Amino acid sequence: MHLRPTAEDDYIDYTCQARHQAIPEDRPMQATVQLSVLYPPGVPYIDGYNPGEAIRRGQHVKLACRSRGGNPPAQLIWYKNGNQARMAYRTTDRLSENIYSFVAEATDNKARLRCEANNIMATKILKAEITLNVLFAPTQVIVSGPSEARIGDNVPLQCQTTASNPAAEIKWIVNGKQVVNASSKVVASPEGGWVTTSNITATVEANKRSLIAICHGVNMQLPENVQSTHTVNVLLPPGPPIISGYTEGSIIAEGSKQKLMCISSGGNPLATLVWYKNDKKIKSVSKTTDQSVSAELSILANVTDNQAQYRCEAHNSATEIPLFETKVLTVHFAPETAKIRIEPAELRPGIEATLICDSSSSNPPAKLAWRHEGTVLEEQARLSLRSPKWESNIMASVRSRLLAGTNNSSKAGLWGGTVSSLELKLNITQDMDGHVYTCQSTNEMLQRSINVAVNLPVLYEPQFSPPAETTVSGVEGAPLTVALVATGNPSSIAYTWTKDGGQRIVSSGVPRIVSEGPILNITKLRRTDAGVYTCEAVNSQGSAMINITVQVKCK
């Protein structure tokens, strides 16, 4: 028997029987063979999805790819957008099946699924394809636009959806009212689906602190709605700042504490308060309530605060130029220093000298006074000049030294204060050397004073104090000492001793006669030592001489 097998011959049994008289009729001898015909599989087909059918994002999808026939049975493989997705399959008899299960995502929209069937007899790969149609709503809407605006401004707002299939519709609600006839634009998304964009312009109304815009993104084929709210704060200028805690013109004493409070009410947002001292920004402590803001400044008053301008500025986004209020402080302060100048620099008897006391800035101006030996010279001079019949020796001495009394002057000083000067003119005499003159500078309002003193350096030639005796006697052979005292300014004085107007006494060898400054020592008197001894004292201002007669008594 000869045959040309076809696919229909696969699994077909062929039996050959042998009959013989010796074999029972009902039990002939026979042999059976089953053909196994190799042939290509059938074209695959897909169950579980119909072309054009819509599925939703999140839906569980089960697709079955089947191929009938084929020997050996078909190998089935799933591909998604050209990439292998699943290759596990099973066969029953001559039926092959590959089940592909998944949860639909937005990215599955327009995805191309292909099932391929193949075996060793196939001359080409057999395949079945479907394109998915996945419905999905946008995951969010994004509203953009300014966050602040002024009353009457036209505020541009834009709402854009993420991808949606079919395209989402946008609905606007502004301050509780739906916006009608809002335009929209739809463009394809690279990730699949459609992106919808809508632009509107909203006008900021008066008497409202904010403009609230709500954007809804609705996929009409799905019961899903996403929304986003955008708030535009309406900018309102704050109320002008008010400074409390100080009344201009009132007096603050240096070293005292002063608090200034600045308050601004209203405004949206609330004001930012900034303190300045003479245009220099300074720190303060701020507090905020629902309707106002305050900034407190604590000052330890010093000289720099006198006539200082303290300014509080209030501003927010609605103010182009800050609102402000200022306070100018008046601070009383005492002078910090005083110094004395002497003119001329070198004082000599018989000249006129001026003592000038300069006091540093003070508010109110400092009162200056000269004192000498506990006496206020201006008062003493006035008393002396007006009441000569009461004049004592002390008053006479003061009057003789004080020429023209005092000369007081003042000029503008630092920190809005006054610099004061007081002159004292004196007729210089020798006995004024070393005398102490004191200048007292007093701020009477604060009852604070400073004192500065000067020791008068009067230059004069040496002068000998009159000795007890101008003639001294000694016994021959006994020692004799002559001690004199001279004063002068400068106090560096050179002394020279001579005898009888002759040669200068100079010690030589083992001296018997020794001069030590104003002291003359004769260790052992001789008769020839009798005579007139002259001591001369010399400094930079001149010289003085005194004669001492020495008599020697014989034993």
Residues 343 and 325 placed together within one structural domain of the fold: no
Q: What does pLDDT average to over the chain?
A: 89
Q: Is residue 549 part of a domain?
A: yes
Q: Which residues pair with 201 in a beta bridge?
A: 156
Residues 446 and 498 placed together within one structural domain of the fold: no
Average pLDDT over residues 239-251: 95
pLDDT in tens, 81-132: 999 999 999 999 889 999 999 999 998 999 999 999 999 999 999 999 999 9
* Single pTM value for the model: 0.61
What confidence score (pLDDT) does residue 507 get?
A: 63
Residues 350 and 447 placed together within one structural domain of the fold: yes
Residues 410 and 434 placed together within one structural domain of the fold: yes
Residues 533 and 505 placed together within one structural domain of the fold: yes
Q: Is residue 2 part of a domain?
A: no
Report d(CA 393, CA 399) in Å as an integer: 10
Q: Is residue 27 part of a domain?
A: no
Q: Is residue 21 part of a domain?
A: no
What confidence score (pLDDT) does residue 550 get?
A: 94
What confidence score (pLDDT) does residue 18 get?
A: 86
Q: Is residue 13 part of a domain?
A: no
Nearest Cα to Cα of residue 477 among 522, 508, 515: 522
Give the count of beta carbons closer than 10 Å to the beta carbon of residue 220: 11
What confidence score (pLDDT) does residue 78 get?
A: 97
Residues 357 and 433 placed together within one structural domain of the fold: yes
Share of the chain above pLDDT 90, in %: 74
CATH, residue 504: 2.60.40.10
pLDDT of 383 > 60? The answer is no
Residues 169 and 192 placed together within one structural domain of the fold: yes
pLDDT of 244 > 50? The answer is yes
Q: Is residue 401 part of a domain?
A: yes
What confidence score (pLDDT) does residue 335 get?
A: 95
Domain count, the chain: 5
**Residue where a domain stops, chosen among 235, 261, 276:** 235
Residues 113 and 60 placed together within one structural domain of the fold: yes
Residues 309 and 416 placed together within one structural domain of the fold: no
What confidence score (pLDDT) does residue 382 get?
A: 37
Domain extent, residue 403, equals: 338-383+394-457
Residues 163 and 69 placed together within one structural domain of the fold: no
**Residue where a domain stops, chosen among 437, 457, 477:** 457
Residues 444 and 495 placed together within one structural domain of the fold: no
**Residue where a domain stops, chosen among 192, 215, 235:** 235
pLDDT in tens, 416-456: 999 999 999 999 999 999 999 999 999 999 999 999 999 99
Residues 128 and 158 placed together within one structural domain of the fold: no
Q: Is residue 9 part of a domain?
A: no
Name which residue leads in pLDDT, 252 or 25: 252
Report d(CA 435, CA 450) in Å as an integer: 20
β strands within 163-279, DSSP E: 169-174, 177-179, 184-188, 194-203, 210-219, 224-235, 242-244, 251-253, 257-265, 272-277
Q: Is residue 496 part of a domain?
A: yes
pLDDT band at 501 (very low <50, low <70, confident <90, very high): confident
pLDDT in tens, 119-158: 999 999 999 999 999 999 999 999 999 999 998 999 999 9
Average pLDDT over residues 371-395: 52
